[in-house]
Amino acid sequence: MRGVLAKRAFRVVLIKPSHYDQDGYVIQWLRSTLPSNSLASVYGLIEECARDRVLGPDVDIEIDACDECNTIVDVPAVSKRIRAAGGGMVGLIGVQSNQYPRALDLGRQFRALGIPVVMGGFHVSGCIAMLPKLPPDLQEAVDLGIHLFAGEAEGRMAEVLRDVAAGNARPIYNHLNDMPEMAAAVFPILPREVVTRVAGHYSSFDAGRGCPFQCSFCTIINVQGRKSRYRTADDVEAIVRANAARDITRFFVTDDNFARNRNWEPILDRLIELREQHGFNIKLMLQVDTLCHRIPGFIEKAARAGCTAVFIGLENINPESLMGTKKRQNKIWEYRDMLLAWRRHKVVTYAGYILGFPTDTPESIARDIEIIKKELPIDILEFFYLTPLPGSEDHKKLYLSGVPMDPDMNKYDLEHACTAHPRMSKEAWDKVYNDAWTRYYTDEHVERIMRRALASGIRPKKILDLLTIFAGSVGIEGVHPLQFGFFRRKVRTQRRYGMPVRNPLIFYPWRVADLLKVAAQWLLLVRRYRRIMARVTADPAASAHCDEALRPHVAVGETDDFVKVFADKIPHTHGAPVQAAVG
Ligand code: B12
Ligand code: SF4
């Protein structure tokens, strides 16, 4: 028809790659447990490009998105859809170092079928930000014709799409020196059918980026910077409303440290208004630091805004270890007050604990975990290996001084020893990691956590489910709880590049035996924990439970027993109170 342009399509398929288990199968589930904010961020940016018709008025940009942790990627079928649309590209989204080998394998397959591929995320950004030259694994991607994107893509996506559509995309886009403002930036969003593949239908957004601290194991500050860049309260309201229109009101706020978001208060005030005056049933999971309780009104407002769980970067209780990694902001003598402050608002606390600081030994770690169990009211403790993540100062130092590090990026998931430890052999470190989980999640301590939860008014079912997942994930599924999901899937043909695809007669019987074993182990664990919870809830004294960890400090200068254990280390810690040192 005269005057009307013939429509064309450009299909963008966004894939957030997972990573491989020790047998070379992709770690994926029927339902995953945590949403991918990188996927939501890039989806929002492509949607903006589609709205703005950046490829011309006659080109419809069509978008598919999936998180490989909960969706099986069929490479030939995706390629067919892109070709059927008349053109398009695959975006490999938010690729972390541990996901890089899987992302490269996907990229290799798409490239073999002639599909353009662009890859972004922390591995690309971290390596380019910190290393003097492109490492061999990134060079391999470039050699395959995969386009790399370093830095943040707000305001830069249209250029990438136009270049790919014109067939002249650059090998590397580097925007690391030019970080976009976040106020009024396009926000993360995903279609409902992508969000509902996450158990509990959690979506996500980052209310800010950047962190003022300088932990040497951290990559974030070298990629997103140390200046707080943040969304406005209006932006956050728009995010909540857009998701609520899709019947989604639970959010993982992915700021690494929401307490250091300079705009935390207007944002929380707006969320409180949405909850209390407009009836939005908002639920939030936040990540915070160990000093957040010092910020007047922060915890109270977070709870009123719907915060039901917080991830706290506790990292360690030995001041010497914390100093060694420049985590000077962690004051161990304030840990209990901080944890109790969250409990008063019925917020579940998760704390990350890093194993393998230079001064750690198997004995010191065992001692520290016992101290935590007795003296700190943490609900969920999760363990990680100290890992030189590409993009961190630790990695850069080892790289430049030629210290050997494991070349297999798949292992940079904080669940493997990737370089030598000064005081522990690799075997000893591995044993320490596995023992840490069993040492913390004993039946006796699980019962204590349940009693503490009941006494603090935390829902029994919630704590029971969390304890079951965190106690069983490593031992039964062999994966960290952060990667956990419900019902593990293993696709016979999707094995790591270079590993043989098993014969169906070998694969399927092995898989059935594997499934039965895992199901039986879960059944036993669930029954055991349910019995413990039944015993606790039946106890009339349970709600009045009090132990050392729940006892608030009352006297001026009073300190925990464990602080005394480290008294000789504390004077070297910035800001330490004098009483702690002599106590
Ligand atoms: C939320 C989060 C998670 C979530 C969700 C994952 C996700 N990516 O959304 C969960 C809980 C699942 C998770 C888990 C893990 N995470 Co995590 N996580 C984060 C966190 C806090 C925020 C991610 C985010 O949303 N960032 C904001 C987005 C917008 O940034 P982005 O991903 O870089 O994306 C931008 C650009 O890179 C670019 N881009 C990205 N992809 C693409 C693709 C294309 C085509 C283009 C053009 C552009 C582009 O555009 C985006 C918008 O600007 C980051 C820290 C951080 N500040 O980013 C750590 C981080 C990414 N995680 C990290 C790690 C190590 C892990 C774990 C291995 C262990 C752990 N303790 O956390 C696990 C394992 C995960 C797994 N194997 O599945 C590291 C990765 C470092 C590295 N070198 O690999 C980080 C950097 C934190 C750290 N400790 O240093 N994580
Ligand atoms: S507090 Fe967290 S985000 Fe900030 S530098 Fe330390 S590890 Fe990184």
pLDDT in tens, 31-41: 999 999 999 99
pTM here is 0.94
**Residue among 104, 115, 122, 252 to mutate when testing ligand 1 (max atoms within 8 A of CB):** 122
Q: Is the pLDDT of residue 394 over 70?
A: yes
Residue nearest to atom 8 of ligand 2 (CA): 218
pLDDT tens digits, residue range 172-198?
999 999 999 999 899 999 999 999 999
Q: Locate the ligand 1 atom nearest the alpha carbon of residue 157 and give its number.
A: 47
Q: Locate the ligand 2 atom nearest the alpha carbon of residue 289 and give its number.
A: 1
Task: Report CA(544)–ligand 1 centroid distance (Å).
Answer: 41
Q: Which amino acid is at 309?
A: A
pLDDT of residue 571: 53
Q: Is the pLDDT of residue 422 over 50?
A: yes
What is the pLDDT averaged over residues 77-84?
Answer: 98
pLDDT of residue 237: 98
Q: Is the pLDDT of residue 312 over 50?
A: yes
Label residue 331 by pLDDT band (50, 70, 90). low
pLDDT tens digits, residue range 266-292?
999 999 999 999 999 999 999 998 889
Label residue 582 by pLDDT band (50, 70, 90). very low
What is the pLDDT averaged over residues 300-316?
Answer: 94
Beta-carbon contacts of residue 578 (< 8 Å; ≥ 6 apart): none
DSSP 8-state assignment for residue 573: S
pLDDT of residue 569: 65
Asked if residue 40 has its Cβ within 6 Å of ligand 2, the reply is no
pLDDT of residue 581: 44
Label residue 2 by pLDDT band (50, 70, 90). very low
What is the pLDDT averaged over residues 470-499?
Answer: 96
Backbone φ/ψ region at 94: left (φ over 0), alpha (ψ -120 to 50), beta: left
Label residue 583 by pLDDT band (50, 70, 90). very low
Residues 295, 259 contacting (CB under 8 angstroms): yes
Q: Locate the ligand 2 atom nearest the alpha carbon of residue 211 and give its number.
A: 4
82 Cα distance to chain centroid:
30
Q: What percent of the chain shows pLDDT beyond 90?
A: 84
Q: What are 244's two structure tokens?
A: 């609520």
What is the pLDDT averaged over residues 520-527?
Answer: 98
pLDDT tens digits, residue range 429-470?
999 999 999 999 999 999 999 999 999 999 999 999 999 999
3-state secondary structure of 59: strand
Asked if residue 312 has its Cβ within 6 Å of ligand 2, the reply is no
Return d(Cα 221, Cα 394) in angstroms, integer.
13
| More reliable by pLDDT, 551 or 281 | 281
Label residue 327 by pLDDT band (50, 70, 90). low
Q: What are 126's two structure tokens?
A: 């971290």
Please give the mean pLDDT across all residues of the chain. 93
Give how far Cα 17 sits from Cα of 28, 60, 120, 339, 511, Å.
10, 26, 11, 35, 23
pLDDT tens digits, residue range 187-232?
999 999 999 999 999 999 999 998 888 888 899 999 999 888 999 9
Task: Report CA(389)–ligand 1 centroid distance (Å).
Answer: 12
β-sheet bridge partners, residue 147: 118
| More reliable by pLDDT, 565 or 60 | 60
Asked if residue 354 has its Cβ within 6 Å of ligand 2, the reply is no
What is the pLDDT averaged over residues 314-323?
Answer: 78
pLDDT of residue 226: 87
What's 303-320 look like in SS3? HHCCEEEEEEEEECCCHH
Return d(Cα 429, Cα 356) in angstroms, integer.
7
Residue nearest to atom 6 of ligand 2 (CA): 215
Label residue 85 by pLDDT band (50, 70, 90). very high
Q: Locate the ligand 1 atom nearest the alpha carbon of residue 91 and give its number.
A: 45
The closest of 194, 164, 186, 190 to 10, measured between CA atoms, is 164
Asked if residue 121 has its Cβ within 6 Å of ligand 1, the reply is yes
Asked if residue 221 has its Cβ within 6 Å of ligand 2, the reply is yes
pLDDT of residue 227: 86
The closest of 506, 72, 530, 570 to 318, measured between CA atoms, is 570
Q: What are 512's two structure tokens?
A: 């059935």
Q: Is the pLDDT of residue 239 over 90?
A: yes
Q: Locate the ligand 2 atom nearest the alpha carbon of residue 329 and give its number.
A: 1
pLDDT of residue 5: 65
Asked if residue 215 has its Cβ within 6 Å of ligand 2, the reply is yes
pLDDT of residue 562: 65
Label residue 1 by pLDDT band (50, 70, 90). very low
Asked if residue 436 has its Cβ within 6 Å of ligand 2, the reply is no
What is the pLDDT averaged over residues 68-79?
Answer: 98
Residue nearest to atom 29 of ligand 1 (CA): 38
Residue 147, φ and ψ in degrees, nearest 5: -90, 130
pLDDT of residue 228: 84
Label residue 556 by pLDDT band (50, 70, 90). low
pLDDT tens digits, residue range 87-110?
999 999 999 999 999 999 999 999
Asked if residue 416 has its Cβ within 6 Å of ligand 1, the reply is no
